[in-house]
Structure 1
Amino acid sequence: MSLNTQLIRSLQAPPRPAWEEAPGRTGLTMKGGFLALCCLGVLAPLWIVIVTSLSPKPVIDRAGGLVVVPEGVTFVNYTELLSGGQVSRALMVSFGVTLVGTLFSMAVSVLAAYGLSRPGSLGHRVILIILMATMFFGAGLIPTYLLVQSLGLTDTYLSLILPSAVSVFNILVLRGFFMGISPELTESARIDGASDLRILLTIIMPLSRAVLAVISLFYAVGYWSAWFNASIYLTDQRMMPLQNVLIQLVQKHTEAPTGLQQAVRTGELSELGLQMAVMVLALVPVAVASPFVQRHFKKGMLTGAVKG
């Protein structure tokens, strides 16, 4: 074997493992079929919920429950829910709590993450250890309830925000992203006389739009989907968010809102149709917001998760 042949073989890339080889037509067909079944399993329940919510009461009664094939479309369930009763009020409560809670949570998380990302911050290591400890050791339900009660937050909307206002995981992701920003940018701004607040608002946050969008969605979905805090801290039914009203409609042992009870008893509306309509109302905001943030997920989560 000549020297040139040995050199060429030594420079050749090693053989690729079997799992890195391009799949054949059979493999692609099997993968495509599996993904199609997964999509069908996800979309079929959503389709049934939407169709049932838009079906008239006779169609639902004739189907004996959930409707798969639409036979006429009516928006009577949605008009009844949004006609100014408890569901409308609960919808406004959920929107308000989600908006205010997300803004407050983002403000606290960004400030905490920025302070913890500065190496020279006083006591930042101790604070970071304390925050991380709370991820593994919780206070428990009863102490948390007693604390909320002693602060006078029961039967107030603050009880839906403050007990779950900050996620340590989100702070750590933001901190990792902030630490990945070039320190030369902040140092040059500091030399020009910029304060920490101005550096945060004019340099750090504009460069962190991706991770801020992702964390905002996390907080917003958490507030929108939350029901447990309201179930233990609120006793006034008029203050309940949408998720708790949905539970009242779905569970048989709880009483539905009064106006809807009357409509169901008189035969004007289908109880199942109302339940499906509330589910759609609870789903729409998240389904609308998610596509706008989806493009930021890869950059925002991966960059913030691996730095620092």
Structure 2
Amino acid sequence: MFKKLRTKSKSDLIFDIFNAIILGVITLLVLYPLYFIVIASFSDPDAINTGQVIFFPKGFNTLGYQKIFEDTKIWRSYGNTIFYTLFGTGINIVLTMLFAYPLSRKDFSCRKLFTFFMMFTMYFQGGLMPTYILMQKMGLYDTPWVMVLLPAINVFNVIIAKTNIQNNIPDELYEAAIIDGCNHFQFFGKIIMPLSKSIIAVLVLYYGVAHWNEFMNGLVYLRDEGLYPLQLVLRGILVQNQASADMMADIESMMEQQKAAELIKYGLIIVSALPVLIIYPFLQKYFAKGVMVGAVKG
């Protein structure tokens, strides 16, 4: 049987055109600020302040990047952040999936109790000072482990992973595995983890970005500058340059310092965001699928 080819009606065509225009405008509004930061980081500060930089850089200038990368603390902090992100995300994924799996089992007798305690922590927390004292008592204060163990589990991510397992892994599969002599650990390692690649990709993105952007824990719990994450070092450089400009007695020197601080500001955004922007496209296809699957049937 041959199906008649349907041509779009006039109303459908108008809707498609209108929809494309609206989405195109929204896309430009989202992308332009990022594009502006890129061209501003290579432009002359005077051109930026006078509004000459709109679509293309004016007065090509790499002073901001030179001042950023001539500081050796940048490279050390990059290494620290990479370690915190990779090692911390690995811990996050393992603990989150290990926590989510038993909560997804309907035959787990303490399921409701643990779910209650987990949800309780979303609304009530100990606060900064009790956590600070706890980190000192546990010997984690001013160590790299505070950056990876303190944010080890996120309750929201556990809920997403639990829902994903409930919706994607049927009980019949578990029963078949038990008949074949599989225990819970084998079922988790050989069935749950391989079939949860989409949600794991989402969790990697969530946890990885959180670790990469983390600076508050470093600001509170780290005193050794050699352990500082990237975001904390970049923040320090920016604040230092702004403070130096404010304290300058010489007007001309102050103006030059402010120009350098302006370039550094845009360069810092590019330096800190570039790795995430590079990695995200590779995880994007899993991101939409994992979030949608994990969001259905709470």
Q: TM-score range by the shorter chain?
A: 0.7 to 0.9
Match of 2:177 in 1: 189
2:234 and 2:188 mapped to 1: Cα distance? 40
- Give the Cα–Cα distance (whole angstroms) in 2 for the partners of residues 124 and 65 of structure 1: 61
1:136 matched to 2:123: yes
Amino acid at match of 2:142: D
Within the candidate set 208, 212, 234, 1:246 is matched to 234
The secondary structure found in structure 1 opposite 2:193 is helix
Q: Using the alignment, how far apart are the partners of 2:210 and 2:172 within structure 1? A: 36
The reply to whether residue 289 of structure 1 matches residue 279 of structure 2 is: yes
User: In the alignment, which of 135, 148, 172 is matched to residue 135 of structure 2?
Assistant: 148
Aligned pairs, number: 277
d(CA) in 2 for partners of 1:197 and 1:215? 21
State the shift of 1:60 in Å.
Answer: 2.4
Check conservation: 1:101, 1:223, Cα contact below 8 A: yes
Per-residue deviation, 1:38: 2.8
Letter in 2 for 1:174: A
- Partner letter of residue 245 of structure 1? V
Quote the offset at 1:136 in angstroms: 1.4
SS in 2 for 1:295: helix
Cα distance in structure 1, aligned partners of 2:265 and 2:224: 22
Among candidates 45, 48, 52, match of residue 60 of structure 1: 45
2:37 to 36, 49, 58: 49
The CA distance in 1 between the partners of 2:88 and 2:243, in whole Å, is 29
Which protein has the larger Cα radius of gyration, Structure 1 or Structure 2?
Answer: 1
Of 209, 213, 218, which aligns to 1:225? 213
Paired residue type of 1:41: L
8 Å CA contact 2:47–2:58 kept in 1: the answer is: no
The TM-score with structure 2 as length reference comes to: 0.82
CA gap of 1:29–1:163, structure 2 versus 1, over 3 A, is same
SS of equivalent to 1:120: coil
CA 1:244–1:152 in 2, change beyond 3 Å: closer, same or farther? Answer: same
Aligned to 2:270: 280
Residue 68 of structure 2 corresponds to residue 78 of structure 1:
no
Is the aligned partner of 1:167 residue 2:161? no
What is the match of residue 8 of structure 2?
A: none
SS at 1:155 equivalent: coil
What is the CA–CA distance in structure 2 between the aligned matches of 1:136 and 1:252, rounded to whole Å? 37
**Which structure carries more helix by proportion?**
2
Match of 1:121 in 2: 108
Distance 1:185 1:76 in 2: 60
- Map of 2:261 onto structure 1: 271
Structure 2: runs of 5 or more not aligned: 1-10, 245-252
TM-score computed with the length of structure 1 as normaliser = 0.79
**Alpha-carbon distance between aligned partners in 1 of 2:105 and 2:176, rounded to the nearest angstrom:** 15
Q: Find the counterpart in structure 2 of residue 15 from structure 1.
A: none
Q: 1:170 Cα shift?
A: 0.8
Q: 1:105 aligns with which of 92, 95, 104?
A: 92
**Amino acid in structure 1 at the alignment position of 2:41:** S
Check 1:123–1:250 CA distance in 2 against 1; reply closer, same or farther (3 A cut).
same
Cα displacement (A) at 1:72? 5.5
8 Å contact 2:63–2:263 — kept in the other structure? no
SS of the residue corresponding to residue 108 of structure 2 reads coil
Give the drift of 1:40: 2.9
**CA-to-aligned-CA distance 1:26-63 (integer Å, 9 cap, x gap):** x66655444344333322221221112223xxx22454
Q: Distance in 2 between matches of 1:217 and 1:236?
A: 28
Report what 1:305 is aligned to.
295
Q: 1:49 to 1:249 in 2, by over 3 A?
A: farther
Report the alpha carbon displacement of residue 211 of structure 1 after superposing the two structures with TM.
Answer: 0.8
User: Structure 2 matches for 1:80-95, cutoff 5 A?
Assistant: 80-83=67-70, 85-95=72-82
Structure 1, 175-184 or 269-278: larger mean CA deviation: 269-278
The alignment-based identity, stated in percent, is 31
Mapped contact 1:246–1:275 kept (Cα < 8 A): no
Q: Would you say the 8 A contact 1:248–1:254 is kept in 2?
A: no
Is the Cα contact below 8 Å between 1:77 and 1:274 reproduced in 2?
yes
